[in-house]
């Protein structure tokens, strides 16, 4: 009698465990979850690329210092940084109205 109760309880526990695992896997494979996982991977990849770029820049600075020492060149006094990124200029529509007293659409007589 105790054997039957033991195996019944073991089977029920295994069934509950397997059902939970299947539901977890199904939740992971839903479109919302997949999109979130992809976004997390993209952010992680961006962080890794940025860290790689910083490591390369530090290595370049170290190597440049080694070359300056080996060649007997003076140290540069300041470190050049990259310029700020340019911002897009908003597109201005072509002016079709004419200002009184001016010739041509732009008011310039040479064109």
Residue 30 resides in a domain = yes
Chain Cα centroid distance, residue 68: 35
Write out the two tokens for 30.
């839903």
Residue 8 resides in a domain = yes
How many structural domains are present in the chain? 1
Check residue 97 and give its pLDDT: 58
Domain range for 13 is 2-71
Residues above pLDDT 90, as percent of the chain: 47
Residue 103 resides in a domain = no
As a whole number, mean pLDDT of residues 23-37 equals 89
Name the band, by pLDDT with cuts 50, 70 and 90, for residue 45. Answer: very high
Check residue 21 and give its pLDDT: 95
Round to whole Å and give the CA distance between 94 and 97.
Answer: 9
Residues above pLDDT 70, as percent of the chain: 73
Residue 101 resides in a domain = no
What is the total residue count of the chain?
Answer: 111
């Amino acid at each position: 009698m105790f054997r039957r109760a033991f195996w019944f309880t073991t089977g029920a526990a295994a069934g509950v465990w397997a059902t939970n695992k299947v539901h977890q896997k199904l939740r992971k494979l839903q479109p919302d979850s997949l999109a979130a996982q992809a976004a997390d991977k993209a952010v992680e990849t961006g962080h890794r690329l940025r860290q790689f770029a910083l490591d390369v820049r530090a290595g370049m600075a170290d190597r440049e210092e080694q070359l300056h020492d080996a060649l007997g060149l003076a140290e540069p006094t300041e470190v050049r940084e990259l310029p700020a990124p340019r911002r897009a200029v908003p597109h201005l529509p072509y002016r079709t109205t004419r200002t009184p007293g001016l010739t041509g659409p732009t008011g310039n007589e040479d064109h």
